[in-house]
Amino acid sequence: MRDGDDQCATEIESVAEGLPLPVPERLRKPKRKWDPDMKLSWEEKAVLVLGICREHLAESNPEGRSIIPPSFFDPGKERKARSVSASQDRGTCGSDSVDDAYCEISLFRKNFIDGLYISELGKPRENDQEMPDEEKVEVLHIARCNEFTEDDPKYGGPICSRFSSFNLAFFDLDEESNVGLGPPLNEMKPYEWRILESSVNVISLKILESDLGYPISVYGTVLARDEVDYKCVYLYKRDREEPQLISSQKDGLMLTGPKRGLAVSGVMYFEINLNVRCNDGTGDRILSKGVIEHNVARYTKRTISQVMTSWLSTLELVCTHVPYALEATLMVTIVKGQPDFCGRITAWTTGNEYDHIILFDSEASGKAATGDGCIVSRVLSVTLDKKLTLCFSVGGKRTCYTLEHDSKMVFCNIDSYELLVEVNWTGNLPSRRKKTLRRLGGTACLL
């Protein structure tokens, strides 16, 4: 063993900035070879492969700086794109510089996604054995998950605060889904009516308990990851300058999404990241952070309530299962009356009159109409044999409209307002699903 190996072993925790991986006792003096017969946990393999990588690059890094920055594990970094370009120019990647480390992982990711071949992650030197490709992606997945593993005071220990059910070695967790709506109903073929996707409608998301009490000013994001592509479909998104005031546990978050129908035949996920704005000089606080898993097979009732306790709160998510789902894209615009609509708009489907979805509430929204007077722009899922009902309430007045599948435009006159309701009906078809999973051995990698 070289003289610097002991020091290298004790510093493995700082191999990558932001990746404080624990060093197991039996790896305090790691071997330089990769032994495929070693019975190690994935965490221990992650420590070992990072130690090997550090040792390989130490000669070109005399200053002792971090040789594997966080961007090494982040496919969205600009440096990675430059490394891919460089690797294409040279055709191969060596292990003689820090830049080559970027090049190797970038080329590995590019070739894996393109399906051409599986390249190497770091060229083994003489007498070294190369780690199998399946185990490389497991190590990268661990490193990615470590970026969003935090000590949740409610949980009493470290927990992944973001979606991590599949291998994330090559997946961009922040990319928004670009999948649009399905085909219009009048363009659907006869057999497509029989294969419509199952979906969910989010009825409400409420803060049942707050360790900070009430009222609180809440901002952040709530998003869904469905089986179409597992990318971000935002349900709630507010920045710090535009928080929502929650006065009691009865107040729900004013959801503004989704912008397309969700699709789920098995499992989908709701990812929550909410903060409280504090103006008392103490700094903002994390209110809730975590993932709620929605498994269709586990919940047989039409209306499902799920509770998540984390950080400084307990949240309740209520949603309904929608089989054979159509997408109803709603847009409500003020035609006449004050530009700030002072009222409430709710929706429900026939046969489920008790679960009202709040589309707009002037007391809770905190948002004015857009420049074109639009106060609602959202997609609801409606079962093929059901209808959609909209209810408008202003002051003590209330009026409801039932929308058939051929309804396109309705004018609503209530109090001093004239509102235009436009609805576009489309089919939630499985043809929109993307091929997002690629198997490498027994590992399912999300792309």
Q: Which tens digit of pLDDT belongs to each residue from 378-390?
A: 999 999 999 999 9
pLDDT band at 77; cut points 50, 70, 90: very low
pLDDT digits (tens, 9 = 90+) for 211-248: 999 999 999 999 999 999 999 999 999 999 999 999 99
pLDDT band at 445; cut points 50, 70, 90: confident
Give the pLDDT score at 157. 85
pLDDT digits (tens, 9 = 90+) for 147-181: 888 889 988 888 899 999 999 988 899 999 999 99
**Is the pLDDT confidence value at 106 over 70?**
no
Task: Report the CATH number of the 185-322 domain.
Answer: 2.60.40
Q: Which amino acid, 88?
A: Q
Contacts of 19 (CB under 8 A, 6+ apart): 50, 68, 70, 73, 143, 146, 147
Phi, psi of 12, deg, nearest 5:
-60, -30
Domain with CATH 2.60.40 in the chain: 185-322
pLDDT digits (tens, 9 = 90+) for 403-441: 999 889 999 999 889 999 999 999 999 999 998 888 877
Please tell me the pTM assigned to this model. Answer: 0.75
Give the pLDDT score at 42. 54
Of 415, 432, 355, the closest CA to residue 386 belongs to 355
Q: Which of 63-72, 170-179, 281-290, 362-371 has the lowest mean pLDDT?
A: 63-72
**Is the pLDDT confidence value at 300 over 90?**
no
